[in-house]
Structure 1
Amino acid sequence: MGREVRLSHLDALFGELDYPITPAAAAAEFDDVTLRLADGEENLGELVADLPDEQYRSSGGLMTDIHNTLPRGAVGEPFQSEGDG
């Protein structure tokens, strides 16, 4: 059974990885994860597989590139929170 995670909880999930890590290796870890977004959902493994860097040294780099990849509507209305803390 697959896992689901909200965008606001990705930091904890990315923190579980061993760094440095390639997008392909990270994608394999997340191939069963559905990322819940404000405007729908995406497979996290597929999103991570398409990230631009060859290697990530920390979860911060992954978070930055995921946020840069998602369309603006994926995170909700500007200045609004997801409401789940």
Structure 2
Amino acid sequence: MSEQVKLKDLEEALEGLPYPLSKQNAVEEVEGIVLRYADGEEAASDVVERIEEDVFDDPASLAASIRNNLPTEAVGEPGQSEGEG
């Protein structure tokens, strides 16, 4: 079963994971989380696969890395924030 997560709630959704977390473990841990974008959605594990960092020390570092690897359409029109459109 997948959990739909809005981008504004991303860090909270990642809080229960066992840190520090390697990139491969992060891919496995976020399996089942679906990120809701302004125009669509994507599996969090697909986004983590694109990240270049190898280790995440806490939810904030993983959430920041995920946000930095989102597609442009994830946040909608310029001026909108967190994909809430």
Per the shorter chain, which TM-score range?
0.7 to 0.9
After superposition, residues 9-28 of structure 1 pair within 5 angstroms as 9-28=9-28
* Partner of residue 39, structure 2: 39
* In structure 1, distance between residues paired with 2:67 and 2:3: 20
Task: Say what the alpha-carbon RMSD is for the aligned residues.
Answer: 1.6
Higher strand share: 2
**Aligned-pair CA distance for 1:77:** 2.3
Q: Identity over the aligned pairs, expressed in percent?
A: 37
Q: Does 2:72 correspond to 1:72?
A: yes
AA aligned opposite 1:69? N
Q: In the alignment, which residue of structure 2 is the partner of 1:51?
A: 51
TM score, norm. by length of structure 2? 0.83
User: How high is the TM-score relative to the length of structure 1?
Assistant: 0.83
Aligned length: 83
Segments ≥4 residues shifted beyond 6 Å: none
